Amino acid sequence: MRIVVVAFILALAFVLPDRANAAGDETPPLPNIDWSFEGPFGSFDRNALRRGFKVYQEVCSACHALQFLHYRNLSQTGGPEFSEAEVKAIASNYTVQDGPDEFGDMFDRPALPRDKFISPFPNPQAARAANGGALPPDLSLIVNARPNGANYLHALLTSYEQTPPADLEIGDGQYYNPVMSGALIAMAPPLVDDIVEYSDNTPATVDNMSRDVTAFLAWAANPHMEQRKRIGFQVMIYLVILAGLLFFATKKLWRGRKWQQPE
């Protein structure tokens, strides 16, 4: 019976909301968005993921990498689910260095679905030099790395327009954003209305783009979330049935017998 209890606890770990991994960290009050992917039965909105990828590709990828994703991940079940042809076309827009060739030389070629997302900078030093000394964080796990990650990221992207306090000193290359610790951030406001054009005619407002790119980055941090939740739910059903069978088997086994205290 102890094995059943342990397995039940492990099954719960599969289906508990992903925000639990950030417990214990303090964050400023954040608007609570009703994300489709939260909760034990949550799932990703495929259209939102596709729009979010477009925002990342056309805006965020100029500074931020996704080093843990491969282009082929964009076609996997549970993600944006682009077709293989679409993924090949997306990857071919980027160039990677390969080699050596038969002469021992390195060469450039178009990226392939098997390649990792191309970083905008060759190394951290180049990234700092291009961003006034600030190092843009990799976004692969950003939603998991921040407390209340999805709500935090959405709030961060939509809070630039607020008026800074009169006593706040803002230095060169800094911007006021109350969501940030210290209320100052080195990243300029990345989103403005209609900075991208959605193919499904969704209005490209700052709020919509923030929601979409947040959903995409939530998937990037948890690409197997739907499969994990599905397996966890199946395991829980199995454990309930198993617990019932064990209960009735034990009851039948001990029927008519009396428990005697050892002398």
The token pair at 194 is 């209609």
Give the tens place of pLDDT for each residue, 168-217.
999 888 999 999 988 999 999 999 999 999 999 999 999 999 999 999 99
Give the single-character DSSP code of 36: T
Pairing of strands 107-110, 95-98: antiparallel
Q: Is the pLDDT of residue 145 over 60?
A: yes
**Is 30 part of a structural domain of the chain?**
no
Mean pLDDT, rounded, for 228-232: 90
Domain that holds residue 130: 44-69+117-241
Rounded CA separation 58/52 (Å): 10
**Is 107 part of a structural domain of the chain?**
no
**Is 181 part of a structural domain of the chain?**
yes
Domain count, the chain: 1
Rounded CA separation 221/215 (Å): 10
Rounded CA separation 246/148 (Å): 40
Residue (of 33, 12, 32, 60) closest to 187 by Cα position = 60
**Is 217 part of a structural domain of the chain?**
yes
Mean pLDDT, rounded, for 231-247: 91
Rounded CA separation 219/147 (Å): 16
Rounded CA separation 239/243 (Å): 6
Do 208 and 52 form a contact (C-beta atoms < 8 A)? no
pLDDT at residue number 261? 63
**Is 133 part of a structural domain of the chain?**
yes
CATH code, domain with 156: 1.10.760.10
**Is 258 part of a structural domain of the chain?**
no
Give the tens place of pLDDT for each residue, 6-44.
444 444 444 444 443 333 344 457 889 999 999 989 999
**Is 14 part of a structural domain of the chain?**
no
